[in-house]
Structure formats: C-alpha cells, structure tokens
A and B are shown apart, each in its own frame.
Chain A
Amino acid sequence: MNIENIKKQFPIFNNKVHNNDLVYLDSANSSQKPQVVVDRIYDFYTKEFSNVGRSVHYLAVAATNLYEETRSLVQKYINAKDPNEIVFTKGATEAINLVANTFGQKFLKEGDEIILTELEHHSNYVPWHYLRRSKGVQIKFAEINSDGEISLESIQKLISPKTKMIAITHLSNVTGAILPIKEITRLAHSKNIPILIDGCQGAPHLRIDMQEIGCDFYAISCHKMYGPTGLGILYAKKKWLEALPPYQGGGGMISEVKKDGITFGDLPNKYEAGTMATAQVIAFAESIKFLNQIGIKNIEKHENELTKYGEEVLRKNNSVTLVGNPKNKGSVLSFTLDGIHAHDIATILDEDGVAIRAGHHCCQILHDKLGLAATARASLGIYNTREDIDKLNESINKCKKIFNK
C-alpha cells in the first residue's frame, strides 16, 4: 500500500498552512475528505439534485435510489442483517440522543441505572444526563485503570438488577484504548441488558461487524470516516427500532395523519423525519467505497504501525508524557509537555503547519480523573506518514526551545 498515492487523493494537502506543508494530525476530531467525496457532492447538486422519498418525477426517483444505495452499502460495510437497521442522523451525537431519548421514554423509570465509563465523550454522557433529570435514573461510571483502559471487570462490578443500559465507547478519543466490546456485550446480554457502543473513533479505524460484536446500538460519525459533515448513522437491531417510539415528528416519518390521530411510517422512515442530509448521504457512499478500496485490514495495519512509531518517537523525547498506555490502542497520541500548556503547544505547532488538538477533547470526566486541565492530542488517519510524526516531534522540540525547557 502506497500512502503517498492515498494522500494524493485528498485535495486539502495541495494547500500550504503558514507557508508549510500541512501535517494533519486531528483526524479523531474530523478527517479530511478524498476528492471522490467532494466531487460527488458537487455532481449531485449540479446534475442530479432532488429531494428523496416523496415526488415521483425522474430526479426524485433517481435520488431516492442513490440515497437507499448508501444505506445498503453501510449495511454491508458493518454487516448489519437488514438495511432498515441503518438510520441516518445528523451526527453520532444525534444517534445517541435518539436512543437515550426514546429508550428512556419507553423503558426507564426512577432508580434505574445506566452504566457509562470514565472515557466517554460528552456526547455519550450528556444525553443520558437528561434522563437523570427527567426520569431520576442513576448514572454509574466504570473506572479506568492506570493505563487508561476499561476492563470487563470494571463494568461487571457495577451491574445490578437495576441496570437498564450500558453505553460505552469503542475506542477512547483521548487514551486510544480499544474496549473489549465483544466481551462486554456478552456480559450485558447475559444479564438481559442492552448495550450501545459509541463508535465514533472505532468505525473509521477498525473492522466493525455487527453480527460479531452483537451490540444493540452502534453510533457512527460520518465526517470522521472520510465523509461529509452533518451526517451520522445509528445502527440498531430491528427489534429495538420497532419497539422504540419515533424520536422527532415531521414529514416523511408518518403513515397516516388525521385530525384525531397519527400512525407512523415503517422502518427506516419512522426515524428520519423531515428532509435529510441528502447530498451528504449520497456522497457518503463514496467514503465507504474509498475505505473498501484500501481495505480495512490495510488501514488497521498502517495506522497500527504508525501509532507504534509515534509512541516510540514521543517516548524518546524526554519532556513528553503520553496520556494512557493501553495494550490495545487505536491511532490516538495524547500527551503533555513538561511546563508547557497544551494550548501553547498547539499554537506553536500550528505555525509549522502541524495541526493537533488541545484541550479536554470533550472528555472532562476523564481529564478530572487524570488531574489534567488539558492535553495535546495528535490523532492519525490513513493519509499520515512517518514523516508527519517526525515533523510533530521537531515542532515539539521547537516549543521546548521557545520555553527554554
């Protein structure tokens, strides 16, 4: 696999940042887009645009077919049983909100418990927090170990007869820990507890097979997966999508509307109220094809090697401390630098064209636990190379020089 050839498919790298080549190390935040995705959006708007699922004219039929084609592609990509188990949302955040809201409405009562972990992104905590307020449910946090991992045991010991949902990340966007989601799913199901996986960081980097994992819900963020913004996916087992009430009301999700009553549409329309992010859905088909073309095994291999190289280089740099040391780690390198705040690091690196993220990365619970106000984070994508890691390290050394460290 030639990474330079893959990188050439991303037009963003033709641009300079502060007169330097762009070293993009912020893919956990959002990935860059290949030309095919950008072109697909342009082509759809210029040649094929219509709303979907409503009108019967030529353009509407063609657009509807394209829209449903993406659903089938996603179904195959994640090995869901049925295309109707794929619901398009405006993001992974909305996907999790959809589950928390509808599941909470229908199945939760005061005193029920939900298990999350200390690694969760705010988008897999805040939606559940609403249920704490509206329903009086309790939230328990499984604790990380000293390597920043979540073990099966840490979840196991929180399970009680009152546990009604387990919602956990697939891959931490801070420590990079990959959770044993298959084992946790087996454990949850042995106690009849449904499980939601926040797959924002998992889906772009790891092979995901819904039959193998067996989870009830899996949330995906398309813009982290070389796809357009404004689009997320909720995978949910059909039995749940049938059992849960609709999330939002509006056009497209109904069956019959009378003055004295409304019946709702079949799956998947029941959860897709209003005009959806049509162009984004259609363009996301190109992201899936792009991933398929490279092959997820090749992606895993490349990113794994690069993460190991990154760890090696940063460990050798004696002012750098890596955050977390998980055995099973995704392509995230969070770090602190002795006596230099993460925001100062990010500003200085930016001058060299090195784009990283600084802050709490929407994980305040974790940063509080680690006793860190902010961390710097370099996260990798398929277009990154060893040279990018070397440039990161050079710029870190420049920070040290500026601060006389």
Chain B
Amino acid sequence: MDLKELYQEIILDHGKNPRNLRKTENFNKDAKGHNPLCGDKVHVYLKLDEDKKVQDISFEGQGCAISMASASIMTDLVKGKEEHEVKEIVQDFLEMIKKKDKLNNKILEENEKTKLMCLSGVKKYPMRVKCATLSWHTLTSAIDNTQEEINSENID
C-alpha cells in the first residue's frame, strides 16, 4: 500500500500538469537547484511586491513525478503569502518531510495542509526525499538571495 500512498492522485495530477510551470516576467528573486543523482533540475522565480508579499511565483525544470508535484504544490500554496510566512511554511514542510507527523504552521488553511501532506508518503522512501525537497530548498535560496545553486547532494 506504500506505493499508493506515494503516488496519490493529487501527486500524479500535479506531476503530469504542474501549476506555475513557466517563468515569471519581471521576477526580482530567483535560484536554481539540481539533484545530480537523478538529474532533476529546478529554477524558481519570485516576484515580491513592495510589502514583500509573493505577487507571483513560478518554476521551470524537469524531474520525476514527486519533484514536479512538490514544486507545483509549493508554488500554489505560497502565492500571496508574505516573505516571512513563506519561510515559515518551508521550514515546517522540511521538518514534516523528515521527522514530524503533521504540519504545525498557522499560516496555511486546513485544506491546504491536507494537500501538502499528500507528499508525506515519500518518508518511506529515503532515497526519494530529496526529490520532494529540492524545490523547497531552492525557494529558500531565492528568498535569501544566496546566488548559490542548490545541490541536493549537499543538503539534508
């Protein structure tokens, strides 16, 4: 049954038809991520408004169903959020995918959290966790403007 938990309908849907798979015009922050082990690549573009709210977020890249779905769901959920809120959501997601049973942030609605929890099936596949986290680490890198390409081999 683990396989069904991993490849839930919502994952397959986002994997096949990723939302926000494009390049934001006039983006003001961006970062690249790469998983050399499987060749997954992602480029995250952010447009923050004057109040540091995410006006638009998009991504370009290629990868497995898990990594595409994860990037797609991520971009959907952080749109409209303030920068510090985005960071909190990212932190919460990364902790959940590694060790926690649930999401603790107070920013996302319950139905949004349920959507995000669909990715938790990946926990049982340690080799695949990096597929799910690559875009999230890349988003952090974009926000922090580190100008460093995220290499999934060098992160937890």
Q: Which residues of A contact B (CB under 8 A)?
A: 339-344, 347-348, 351, 358-360, 367, 373-374, 402-404
Contacts and interface: CB of A to CB of B under 8 A. Distances in A.
B16 A367 contact: no
The listed residue with most A CB atoms (<10 A of its CB), out of B39, B128, B131, is B39
Interface of B: 2-3, 6-7, 12, 16, 37-41, 62-66, 125, 128, 131
* A interface secondary structure, majority: mixed
Nearest to B4: A402
B62 A373 contact: yes
Contact of A373 (B3, B41, B65, B66): B41
Nearest to B61: A373
Q: 7 closest A-B pairs (Cβ-Cβ)?
A: A373-B39, A341-B64, A343-B64, A374-B39, A351-B3, A344-B64, A344-B65
Contacts of B40: 373
B66 A344 contact: yes
Contacts of A402: 3, 7, 12
B16 A339 contact: yes
A368 to B, nearest CB: 10
Nearest to A351: B3
17 contacts: A341-B38, A341-B64, A343-B131, A344-B64, A347-B3, A347-B125, A348-B3, A348-B7, A358-B38, A359-B37, A359-B38, A360-B38, A373-B38, A373-B39, A402-B12, A403-B12, A403-B16
Contact of A351 (B2, B16, B41, B66): B2
A374 B6 contact: no
Contacts of B41: 373
Contacts of A403: 12, 16, 65
Given A373-B41, A402-B12, 8 more contacts: A344-B65, A344-B66, A347-B6, A347-B128, A348-B3, A359-B38, A360-B38, A367-B39
Nearest to B122: A347
Contacts of A404: 12
A348 B40 CA distance: 18
A374 B64 CA distance: 10
A347 to B, nearest CB: 6
Contacts of B65: 340-341, 344, 403
A341 B63 CA distance: 7
B61 to A, nearest CB: 10
Contacts of B38: 341-343, 358-360, 373-374
B145 to A, nearest CB: 27
B126 to A, nearest CB: 12
